[in-house]
Structure 1
Amino acid sequence: MTRQKVQKLDRKNAIPEDDDDFVTRPPAEGKGRVILMLQGHPSRFWRQLADGLAEDGHRVLKVHFGLADAVFWGRRSAIHYRGRFSRWRAFLTELVQREGVTDIFYYADRLPYHAVALEVAGVLNRRAWAIEHGYLRPDWLTIEADGMGALSRFPRTRAEIEALAEGVSPPDMTVLYRHDFAVEAFNEVSFGLLQSFGRVLYPLHVSDRPVPPVIDYLSWLPELVLTGRRARDAMALTRRLIRERIAYNLVPLQLEVDYQIRGSSPYSRLTDFIEEVIASLARTAPADRHVVFKVHPLDNGLGRWFSRIPAIAERYGVADRVHVLRGGNLGRMVTRSCGVVLVNSTVGIHALRAGTPLCVLGTAIYDVPGLSHQGGLDRFWTQPEPVDRAFFETFERAISTIQVKGSFFAPDGRDDAIAQIRARMRPTAPVAGATGGGRGAHGSAATSKGAKADPSLTTHPPFAARVPGE
C-alpha cells in the first residue's frame, strides 16, 4: 500500500487544510475506486483488507477516531479526526467531495460517526458498506449496503427473496475456521482500553459505550469465578427439562449494549423485553409452559439477570416456570423447545434451520411470513405458526448474497473473506447489495429492465444519527 503522510487537521474546526504533505493519488483510470475506511473490527482484518484493496488498484483512505484505531491500523497513513462530533458531518462531506470518495466502509453501523457517514453517503450519492459478523454462523461475515437490521436493504417479501435466491447455490455451512476465544478476548479488551486511555489524544471523541471499558472488563471477574457453577447449573436444568418432559420456550438474550437492541427494536432496555415475555407467559400461556432465558455468552454480568429475571417472574406469579441459565448446548435447547422468542438475535436463523417455531419482537431480516410467527406473542404460546422449511432454504440462499465465507480472527478465514470482498469490489464483478450508480438521498435506485432483485434496492426507514445520551 502506498505510504502517505498523515493529513494535518485544524483542531478548532476539524476541517482538512490544503497541505502538500498530504499526498493524494488518484486511482488508475477506469480501474479503481476511492475507498474511505472508518472504524474497523478489533483485529488485523481492517488493515489486511486495506492492503488487498490497494493491491487491486483502489485508493484507500482511513480516518481514526481514537488510539485503538491507530494501533490496530499500524504504520499505514491515516487522517486523525480530533474535532467535535457536531462538526463531523461537515468534515466528512468536504473530505468525500475533495478526495473523490466512491465507497465508505465501516464496522458497527450504528456508531454515531458511522451513522452520520451513512447519511452523508446518501446525500452525496456514494456507496456505504457495513462489514460485520455474519447473519449465518459460524464462519461467515456480512458485507451489506448501508447496514444491518433496521438499516438492511435485504428484501422483506417472499417474492423478492425468491427472486434474489434464483440461481444461487446453498451456502456451505461446513465449519472451516477456528480460533481460540482468548485471541478474541485479547483483541476486544485491548481495543477498548486503548480507546479509553488514549482519550488524551482525542479529547473530543464521543464514545457510544454506556459503561466505561475498565468497569465493563472488571465486571467480568465475578462471572469468571462463577463459570464452573453456571455450567453445572445449565447442565442440570437441561437434564431436568428432558427427564421430566417439561414443555418450554427458549428466550436467548442479547447484550443490552447491542445496537440491534438499541437501534433495531422497540426496547430501550433489555428488561422491557424480558418483562413483556413474562407478562405474556402469565397471561396467555398454558399453565404447564415454562420459559428458559439463556444469557448471552459475552454478557458481563452487570444486568444481574440471575436475580432480576426471577424477581420479575415472582411479581407475575410464575417464578416456578421461569428459569435462567448461562451455557448449555444451544442447538439442543432450540431443537427440543416448543418455540423460540427473541428480539432479533442470529439465534433466530438457527431456530429456522432446525424447523423450530420463532417469534420475533424486534426488527429482523428473517421476520417474514412463512419463516417467523406473525400472530403476536400471546398466540405464539398455543398457536405457533410453523416454519416453511423449503422457503427457509430459499431464504438462506438469498442471504448468502450478502455474506462472505470467512472469519475476523482465524488467519485463513481472514484471507478467504478478504479475497471475496476484493472480488466484489472489482469493476468487472457484480457487487451484491449495491447499484452501479449509487443511490440518492433517500436510498432509492432504479433497476434495468429484467434485472434480478437486488437487496440494495429495497428502501428502509431512515436512521437519524445522534449522540448517545441526547
Structure 2
Amino acid sequence: MNSPSFAGKRVLLLQGPVGPFFWNLAKDLRRKGAEVFKYNFNAGDWLFYPRCARSFKGNLAQWPAELESFMRAQQIDVVLLFGDCRPVHACVRGLAQELGCVLGVFEEGYLRPDYVTFEPVGVNGNSVFAQSLAPWLVQQAMRPPYKNAEQVSAPATTQAVGNSFWHAAMWGMLYFFAAWLGQWCWNNALHHRRMTVLDAPWWWLSFGRKAWYKLKERGAEQRLCQDKRRQFFLVPLQVYNDAQITVHSDFDSVCNFSDYVMRSFAKALASEQSEGVPAGGASISEAILVFKHHPMDRGHRNYGDVLRRLTQRYGLHGKVMYIHDQHLPSLLKAARGVVVVNSTVGLSALGHGAPVKVCGTALYDIPGLTFQGRLRQFWHFAQQAVPDSQELQRFKHALVRRTQLNGSFYRKLANTQWACGVALEGQMAERLWPQDIPEAGRSLRLLPAVNDEIPAQPDTDARHYPLGEHPLMANSAVVARKSGI
C-alpha cells in the first residue's frame, strides 16, 4: 500500500500566518514532489513570500472569480490556507467542493503552546473532527476502561516549543509595517484586521496596562486561589474580533456574552433566595463571577465600564471581579467552574479538572467532559460536571492524532527535518487523503484501542475527493508515514 503523499500534486497556498512559515512549507512540499503556487494579498504577504507568487490587488467582490479561473487553469489539487474565516478565504470551501479539490486549513493550536492545528475542510466550528464525534463516543462507551492514562497518551513524542511570544511579535511587527508601507500599491481592505501604524499606540498601551494591572491587582490571585477557592466562577473573555465570537457563536460581541452570563447568574441567585437550593445542587450565595480579560486584547479593549453597568443592572454588587494578568492555570485549579464561549481555555480548564460550561460551539463540548445542561443550572450543579479523566485522555489522544501538529508557526522546533520547523511526519497528506475508508455500515472510529490492528484497506489515493464524500474520519492508526507530508 502506498502512503499518501504530495508527490505530483499541484498545491495553492493562500494567506498564511505572519512570518516565513508558508515560504518554508513550500520548500518542504517541493522537496516531496509537489508543484506549489501562491497568492499574496498585501506587502506583508510579499515580504515573507517574495518570489514565485501571484499578487491580487482587486476588491473582495472580484476575488472569487479570479480564484476560480486560476484553479481551473492550473488544475489545482490542494488549497492550503491559514484561518478559514478570513475574508479572502470565505469563498474557498465552496469553490474547492465545486471543483473537487482538497482543502487543508491551518490555525493556532487547540492544545497550546506545543501544537498547531491542521485539518481538512475547516477548523473550530467548521471542523469535521467535531462533526464526527458522535460515532466515536458510542464506540468508546462500549469499550472497557483503560488501566492507566499512559495507554491513551499522544501517539508520538512531543517536543516542547518554548516561549514563542517574542518570535510572533517580531514577525507580526514586520508584517504589518510592510503592509502599511505598501498600502498605496495593494488593497489592504482585503485583510481581516486594520493594517496601519496608527494601531501602534494600542500595542504600547497594552504594555503600559500590563504594568499598571500588575500593581492595581496585586493580591487578587492569592485572594481567589486561597480565600475564595471553589467559590468563584471564572469567565475568560475572548478577543473582541475573534472569529470564535463573530462567526462561531450566537453572541454579537464580548459585551453581549458578558450580559448573558451576568443575567443568568443573577436569575440563579434570585431563584435560590426565593425557592432555596435546588435538590442535589450547591448554594451559590457566597459565589462570585470573575471575568478575565484576554491578554491579546489588553491594549484594544477595556470592559470595566461595561461590567460595572451590568453589575448595577442585575444587582450583583460585590459579586463581580474583573482581572487581567493573573496566572491562568492557578485560577483554573481553584475555580468552582469555568464559563466560556468556545475558547481553548476550556480545554485547559478540563485538563485542570475544572467543570466547564460552553456557551458557543466547541470541539470539546461533549458528554463526559463538559456540563450539558443550561447555564442557569450550571451555577448550582457545576460540581457534578467534573470532567472524566479517562474520557479527556481519549479525547486529547484523538484530537492530537486527527487535528494537531507538533510545533509553532513562529519558532522552529530544535530537532526537525522540515524547513517550516513543524514536525509534519507525513500527517498532512494522511489527513487530506486518508486511505483506510471504513466499509459501508461499519461505525466510524476515531481512536483505536491500544495495540489494535486495523486490516489494510484498498488504496484510495485519488487525485481529487469531492469534499462531501471525503473519508476524513476513517481510522488511520496504521497508515505508514514514510513519504508525504
TM-score normalised according to structure 2 size: 0.79
Give, as a single letter, the amino acid of the residue that structure 2 aligns with 1:116.
Answer: C
Tell me the equivalent position of 1:404: 405
Which range moves more in the overlay, 184-193 or 167-176? 167-176
Number of residues of Structure 1 aligned to a counterpart in Structure 2:
421
Give the Cα–Cα distance (whole angstroms) in 1 for the partners of residues 292 and 434 of structure 2. 38
Per the alignment, do residues 227 and 439 of structure 1 end up closer, same or farther by CA in structure 2, a change over 3 Å counting?
same
Tell me the equivalent position of 1:282: 266
Tell me the equivalent position of 2:220: 237
Deviation at 1:361, TM superposition (A): 0.7
Deviation at 1:226, TM superposition (A): 2.8
Which range moves more in the overlay, 383-392 or 326-335? 383-392
Give the Cα–Cα distance (whole angstroms) in 2 for the partners of residues 175 and 306 of structure 1. 39
Tell me the equivalent position of 2:27: 51
Deviation at 1:108, TM superposition (A): 1.7
Give the Cα–Cα distance (whole angstroms) in 1 for the partners of residues 435 and 220 of structure 2. 44
Tell me the equivalent position of 2:305: 307
Note if 1:152 corresponds to 2:127: yes
Give the Cα–Cα distance (whole angstroms) in 2 for the partners of residues 222 and 46 of structure 1. 31
Per the alignment, do residues 433 and 215 of structure 1 end up closer, same or farther by CA in structure 2, a change over 3 Å counting?
farther
Give, as a single letter, the amino acid of the residue that structure 1 aligns with 2:220.
Answer: L
Tell me the equivalent position of 1:421: 424
What stretches of structure 1 of length at least 5 have no aligned partner?
A: 1-28, 455-470
Note if 1:64 corresponds to 2:40: yes
Deviations 1:166-207 (A, max 9, x none): 997526686622245333212222222322332211237523
SS across alignment from 1:238: helix
Tell me the equivalent position of 1:348: 346
SS across alignment from 1:319: coil
What stretches of structure 2 of length at least 5 have no aligned partner?
A: 144-150, 270-283, 438-459, 478-485
Give the Cα–Cα distance (whole angstroms) in 1 for the partners of residues 140 and 114 of structure 2. 22
Give the Cα–Cα distance (whole angstroms) in 2 for the partners of residues 85 and 429 of structure 1. 28
Tell me the equivalent position of 1:142: 117
Give, as a single letter, the amino acid of the residue that structure 2 aligns with 1:452.
Answer: N
Deviation at 1:377, TM superposition (A): 0.7
Tell me the equivalent position of 2:324: 326
From 172, 177, 184, the counterpart of 2:161: 177
Tell me the equivalent position of 2:453: none
Give the Cα–Cα distance (whole angstroms) in 1 for the partners of residues 135 and 396 of structure 2. 14
Give the Cα–Cα distance (whole angstroms) in 2 for the partners of residues 149 and 95 of structure 1. 28
SS across alignment from 2:289: strand
> Contact 1:63–1:81 (CA<8 Å) still a contact in 2?
yes
Per the alignment, do residues 419 and 335 of structure 1 end up closer, same or farther by CA in structure 2, a change over 3 Å counting?
closer
Deviation at 1:219, TM superposition (A): 1.6
Deviations 1:96-141 (A, max 9, x none): 1111111111112111111111221111111111111111111101
Tell me the equivalent position of 1:8: none
> Contact 1:360–1:367 (CA<8 Å) still a contact in 2?
yes
Tell me the equivalent position of 1:359: 357
Deviation at 1:264, TM superposition (A): 0.4
The sequence identity of aligned pairs, in percent, is 27
The alignment yields a C-alpha RMSD, in angstroms, of: 3.1
Deviation at 1:330, TM superposition (A): 0.6
TM-score normalised according to structure 1 size: 0.82
Tell me the equivalent position of 2:52: 77
SS across alignment from 1:255: coil
Which range moves more in the overlay, 275-284 or 294-303? 294-303
Q: Which has the higher contact order (CA 8 A, sep 6+)?
A: 2
Tell me the equivalent position of 1:220: 203
> Contact 2:85–2:243 (CA<8 Å) still a contact in 1?
yes
Tell me the equivalent position of 2:254: 270
Give, as a single letter, the amino acid of the residue that structure 2 aligns with 1:423.
Answer: G
> Contact 2:434–2:474 (CA<8 Å) still a contact in 1?
no
Note the 1:123-138 alignment, pairs <5 A. Answer: 123-138=98-113
Per the alignment, do residues 359 and 78 of structure 1 end up closer, same or farther by CA in structure 2, a change over 3 Å counting?
same
Per the alignment, do residues 172 and 337 of structure 1 end up closer, same or farther by CA in structure 2, a change over 3 Å counting?
farther
Give the Cα–Cα distance (whole angstroms) in 2 for the partners of residues 433 and 346 of structure 1. 30
Per the alignment, do residues 359 and 426 of structure 1 end up closer, same or farther by CA in structure 2, a change over 3 Å counting?
closer
SS across alignment from 1:364: coil
Per the alignment, do residues 357 and 180 of structure 1 end up closer, same or farther by CA in structure 2, a change over 3 Å counting?
closer
Tell me the equivalent position of 2:87: 112
